[in-house]
Structures are given as structure tokens and as C-alpha cells.
Amino acid sequence: MLNFIKDQVRTIKRKDPAIKSTMEVFLYPSFRALLCHRISNFLFRYKLYFLARFICEFAKRRTGIEIHPGAKIGKSVFIDHGSGVVIGETAVVGNNVTMFHGVTLGGTGNEKTKKRHPTIEDDVFIGSGAKVLGNIVIGKASKVGAGAIVLNNVPPGVTVVGVPAKIVRKR
Amino acid sequence: MLNFIKDQVRTIKRKDPAIKSTMEVFLYPSFRALLCHRISNFLFRYKLYFLARFICEFAKRRTGIEIHPGAKIGKSVFIDHGSGVVIGETAVVGNNVTMFHGVTLGGTGNEKTKKRHPTIEDDVFIGSGAKVLGNIVIGKASKVGAGAIVLNNVPPGVTVVGVPAKIVRKR
Amino acid sequence: MLNFIKDQVRTIKRKDPAIKSTMEVFLYPSFRALLCHRISNFLFRYKLYFLARFICEFAKRRTGIEIHPGAKIGKSVFIDHGSGVVIGETAVVGNNVTMFHGVTLGGTGNEKTKKRHPTIEDDVFIGSGAKVLGNIVIGKASKVGAGAIVLNNVPPGVTVVGVPAKIVRKR
């Protein structure tokens, strides 16, 4: 738990140019939502579903960030601002991923498999209001533009934008 | 009121694959926002506008879902996740409608008539972040894609996507 | 402060057709968020960053509107509904600007200068869910359509829509 707090302090200070002091980290919705998720995810793995959901809803009311207790979240993740973020039950988020407010990692409603939500690989950047829908993969270090609607796999190291999202830049 | 609760329990268990137990229904923002709306709509019809608005704002703070007390909402409606949902004063929502977070049923600011907001017919599905604006009609069982901006009438049984929204599939 | 309250009452009654009485103004998220911003901005100018941020986060939890304490906001501004609004540290908002819920005045993450966020000139109208990103200027009395993603300067008196936003109408 102490490692988690240290990692978050380092991550937020590195990623947000608007921060003025270390103390401010404890006011960040990102920090509080991810802390609650660690607890709700622990309860979920022990099948304490109601309690897990209760903590998830509590965190959502306080931070605007809704992370389903079943989602898997990596290290050094940062969710800037946070209002309106929704991360689904079977979503997987890698290390060092940055997301902005309004991002959805959701389902399309047509999924037949158990895994209904996307997998986000390490170092991915997802702009504000972007929606990544279905059991797809966003490749390592790719960028998703603000407001993009992503419905297909995205290879590593590219930038996608638009509705629906298309590749605009390759490394 | 008991009928409403029974209907909501049935609706949420049918529509959300992530639910684990009946008790969880009472944690759903959709359930709590629609319950508050029934109260605020009752007060609104008796011209208790301030009290109606107070309950509407209370529900919004707790659930992220803002339903104007004047809006007309049908049976078996489900609003998944809910943060950022805005439903305007003269909006009409039919039975068995499913909406995701970030959906707006709003005005365009240019309306001259009393009815400034859309009418959503039965069985419509509206994806996350979609905005339906103005006094238009979304026809029975149509689907609106995530992030779509809908500014014109949509016939029944079609799928619309994009900014601005266009028909991509007909039944 | 009294001038601010009088100005807000006048602004909201003029701009929102759904309001029924003057008392309702005090329930408006726009009014409460802008009031908190005046306090947090005052503290920020005296370098009381932690306290300023605390009030900013408090206001966000209660209203859904996040205005960084460093942002400069003009007179007669109105933010309708408000959930999911994010206004960045170096954003400047002119007089008589109208914004809807879900609007972002943010950075792109690539800014090298101190001013990372947009400048919105007087009388601008920004539709729900629109994102204005980077150190750009939206010219006087222009309109930004719902869901638009604006990445370049917008001249005065035009309407822009789409992802990315393009001019569709000139005065």
C-alpha cells in the first residue's frame, strides 16, 4: 500500500504540470479513485461483490471516476480530472497509462465472450472524452485523440483520431 | 411505487451483464436517479418548482444523472453508469429505453416552440456520450452510436452514428 | 461579491428558458461553481495553492464543474448543467460566455509555453461535450457545436462543428 502511494505521488508530479506541491496529490481524484479500486478489487477477488460495488459507487460519487471492481489496473496509471470516466468489469489497463476525463473503456453490447471490455497496453495515452469499446487491444505507447470512438484493435506506437477512429500517424 | 421498484430490479438484472446479486440494484445510479425523478416530477406537476428542482439537483450530485423534473420517463428505462447524463425539461422517453453515461437529450438553443427537447420512442438504445438535440423524434427500436450528435429525426429500426449522425444500417 | 450575485441572477434568468423563479438560481451548479472559483482564485493569487485546490475539488464534487483556481473567468458567464466541465489553469474566459455540460478548455500535452490552455473571447457559445484544446483563441461571438474537437484558432463570428472542428457558417 505504501508502495502504491509512493508510486502515485511520483506519477502525478511527473505527469501534471499544474501541480504545486506534494500535498496536493491527496486531493487528486485519480489518487483517491485508484486507492478505492485497490480495496474494491481485493474484495471482488474474494467474491464480496456487494461490498466491492459499494466502495466503487462511493469512489465514483466523490471523484467522478467509476472503475468496476473486477477491472485490472497496472502501476503508475494517471487519470487526469476524472469526471465521467467509466472502466468496465473485464477491462485491463497496463502500466504508465494516462487517461483524461470522460474516457470510457466499455462494451458494445454485442459481446458474446466473457471478456467484453478493452485491453490497454503500457504507456498508452487516451485523450478526454474518447471511448474505447469492445474486446479490443490498444497497442503499447499508442495515442487516442480527444473525442475518438475506437471500435477496432490499434497497433502499437500509432495515433488514432476521429469518429470512428482512424490512424493518422505512425512512428 | 412498489411496481416501480419491481420493474427496475427486473430491468437492471436483464440489461446489465456485470450485476452479481439483486441487492446491488439499490446501488445503481439508474435506480436512484429514476426514483428521485418520480418524486420531483410529482412535485413539478403540482407546481412546487423549487422543491422539485432541489430533489433533481440532489439526485444529480449523488448519481451524476440530471433529469429535469418536467421530463416524461417511461417504464423499464435503464441508464447505465450515468455520469454526465442530462435530460431536458420537455424531453419524452418511452418504455424499455437504454441509455449510457454521458447521453444528452437537450435543446439546440434555437427552439421557438414550447417543446424544446427530443422524444425517444420505445426500445431505443443510445450509446455513451451521444447527444440528441432539439425537438426531434428517435423512432422505435433505433440505435444511436456512442459519441453521435443527432440533430434530425431518426426513423424507426435504424442505426445512426457519427458527427453529425447518419444512418448506417436499416432493418 | 454582491455585484457578482446580482450579475449571476440576471445572467441565469436571461439564458435558461427552464427556470421558474429567482430562488432557483441558488440551486444552479453554474452559480455555485463560479462563486467557489472566485474564492479559490483569490487564494491562488496569494499563493495559497493547497487551500485553493481544496476549494476547487470541493466545488467539483458538488457541481460537476472543475475550474482550476488559476483560470481567469469574466462576467455574466453561464455554465448550463455543468457535469464534466473542465477549465484548465491558464484558460481565459471572456464576458457573457455560455458553456454547456461536458465542455473542456484543456491542454494537448504538447505545450512548451506557460500558457497551455485556450482563450475564449466575449459572447462565445460552446455546445455540450465540445473540447477546446491548446493555447488557441476562440474569436468574439463565435459558436462551437456540440461534440466538436477544436485544435486551431477560430476567427470571430463563425460557427465550427465536427471532429476535428471546421467552419460551417460565417456571419
- pLDDT one-digit tens code per residue, C47-73: 999 999 999 999 999 999 999 999 999
Cβ contact A136:A121 at 8 Å: no
Beta bridge pairs of residue B137: B119
| Residues of C in Cβ contact (< 8 Å) with B149 | 145-147
Beta bridge pairs of residue C169: C159
Average pLDDT taken over every residue of chain B? 94
Measure the CA–CA gap between C161 and A138, rounded to whole angstroms.
Answer: 28
- Residue for grid cell 417511461: B74
For position C157, what pLDDT does the model report?
A: 96
| C168: enclosing H helix or E strand | strand C166-170
**Nearest Cβ partner for C68 among A18, A29, A128:** A18
Strand boundaries in chain A, DSSP class E: 65-67, 72-73, 78-79, 85-87, 92-93, 98-99, 104-106, 119-120, 125-126, 131-133, 137-138, 143-144, 149-150, 158-161, 166-170
Measure the CA–CA gap between C51 and C44, rounded to whole angstroms.
Answer: 8
Q: CB C84 to CB B89 under 8 A?
A: no
Residue A56 neighbours by CB distance under 10 Å: 26
Question: Is the minimum CB–CB distance between A87 and chain C shorter than 8 Å?
Answer: no
Measure the CA–CA gap between B19 and B25, rounded to whole angstroms.
Answer: 8
Mean pLDDT across the stretch B89-102? 97
Task: Using alpha carbons, select from C115, C60, C135, C150 the residue that is nearest to residue A128.
Answer: C150
Measure the CA–CA gap between B99 and B144, rounded to whole angstroms.
Answer: 9
Cβ-based neighbours of B31, under 8 Å, separated by 6 or more: B8, B12, B25
* pLDDT averaged per 10 residues, chain A (length 171): 91 88 90 96 95 95 95 96 95 97 91 90 97 97 96 97 91 65
Look up residue B50 and give its three cell numbers: 423549487
Give the orientation angle of helix C2-15 with respect to helix C29-45, to 10 degrees. Answer: 140
Cβ contact B133:B107 at 8 Å: yes
| C105: enclosing H helix or E strand | strand C104-106
For position A171, what pLDDT does the model report?
A: 65
Chains in touch with C (≥3 Cβ pairs < 8 A): A, B
One-letter amino acid for residue A135 of the chain = N
The pTM for the full model equals 0.94
Measure the CA–CA gap between B96 and C53, rounded to whole angstroms.
Answer: 42
Q: What percent of chain B has pLDDT over 70?
A: 99
Question: Is the minimum CB–CB distance between C84 and chain B shorter than 8 Å?
Answer: yes
Task: Using alpha carbons, select from B141, B130, B135 the residue that is nearest to residue B163.
Answer: B130
For position C171, what pLDDT does the model report?
A: 65
Give the orientation angle of helix B29-45 with respect to helix B49-63, to 10 degrees. Answer: 170
Measure the CA–CA gap between A60 and C151, rounded to whole angstroms.
Answer: 30
Look up residue C129 and give its three cell numbers: 461535450
* pLDDT averaged per 10 residues, chain C (length 171): 91 88 90 96 95 95 95 96 95 97 91 90 97 97 96 97 91 65
Cα separation values, A114 from A72, A105, A110, A135, Å = 15, 15, 12, 9
CB pairs under 8 A between A and C: 71
Question: Is the minimum CB–CB distance between A100 and chain C shorter than 8 Å?
Answer: yes
Answer yes or no: is pLDDT of B3 > 70: yes
- Surface of C (104-133) touching A: CB under 8 A: 104, 106-107, 109, 116, 129, 131, 133
Strand C98-99 and strand C78-79: the pairing is parallel
CA-based nearest residue in chain C for residue B62: C62
Question: Is the minimum CB–CB distance between C15 and chain B shorter than 8 Å?
Answer: no
Task: Using alpha carbons, select from A50, A138, A58 the residue that is nearest to residue A91.
Answer: A138
- Provide the ipTM: 0.91
Q: Structural domain tally of chain C?
A: 1
Measure the CA–CA gap between B89 and B91, rounded to whole angstroms.
Answer: 6
Instruction: Tell me the residue range of the domain where A119 lies.
Output: 2-170
Answer yes or no: is pLDDT of B159 > 70: yes
Least confident stretch, A101-110, A131-140, B60-69, B134-143: A101-110
Question: Is the minimum CB–CB distance between B17 and chain C shorter than 8 Å?
Answer: no
Mean pLDDT across the stretch B64-87? 96
Cβ contact A167:A150 at 8 Å: no
Q: Is A19 left (phi over 0), alpha (psi -120 to 50) or beta?
A: beta
Nearest-neighbour CA in chain A from B71: distance (Å): 23
For position B171, what pLDDT does the model report?
A: 65
**CATH number of the domain that residue A102 is part of:** 2.160.10.10
Task: Using alpha carbons, select from B90, B85, B118 the residue that is nearest to residue B100.
Answer: B85
